[in-house]
Amino acid sequence: MTQAFDLSGKVALVTGANTGIGQGIALALAAAGADVAAAGRTPAAETVEKARALGRRAEIISADLSTIEPVGRVVDECVDRLGAIDILVNNAGIIRRADSLEFSEADWDAVIDTNLKSVFFLCQAAGRRMVARHEAEGVRGKIINIASMLSFQGGIRVPSYTASKSGVAGLTKLLACEWAAKGINVNAIAPGYIATNNTEALQADETRNRQILERIPAARWGSPEDMGGAAVFLASSASDYVQGHVLAVDGGWLAR
């Protein structure tokens, strides 16, 4: 069974891998044997250094995913530098907070473009490579999108984020329906409340922090490392019959 989770010889492209959830997932995939391309606006130097310390090949790919302009290049660079793209993790994302009565079009567009539009077109670019390789060599591709608790719930003061992450869940299911028979598994991870820079405002808000902790059965915020096991499972042959699933890794948040 251990062999089913072995990613030796695989190449993973992870967006937003410089810190937080993206870094935790990239390093978990590297620990399981995968070589890693870390793509994003901020160079993931620490992530790449740690992946190389595990004996893996690792590369930084510079890309501002607030637009789809670099999408094709990102996938091409991954293949050119590391020889393939077996796994895509769409983690890069942003959040903007304001009351819905005051929410701006600029904040709406910025979040939707990064969190949903770029995710789809990265899936498309990687999917084309994966389908062609499956047809030629029988190798399966794995796509893992990063959803959210707000893929299931409404949240407050984050309308574009909620819309984008609800869209990610729907997109994951659609692509699974289209690509399952073409050799690609498309699934998503929905992190619970994870201690990262994206949640600093919530952690610093004494009232909201207390309310959040009171609801989590595990009685703690999650860490980026908590995402690693789920990512390795969904990236490995152990999940070959898992399609279109949104896996909550939330300390029990949704169960309560």
Instruction: List active site positions.
Output: 161
* Best CA proximity match to 64, nearest among 31, 85, 94, 34: 94
Instruction: Say how far residue 127 (Cα) sits from the centre of its chain.
Output: 15
Q: Within 10 A of 1 (CB to CB), how many other CB atoms are there?
A: 5
Structure tokens at 110: 């910025």
What one-character-per-residue DSSP string does 165-209 give? HHHHHHHHHHHHHHHGGGTEEEEEEEE-SB-SGGGHHHHH-HHHH
* Best CA proximity match to 15, nearest among 70, 86, 65, 81: 65
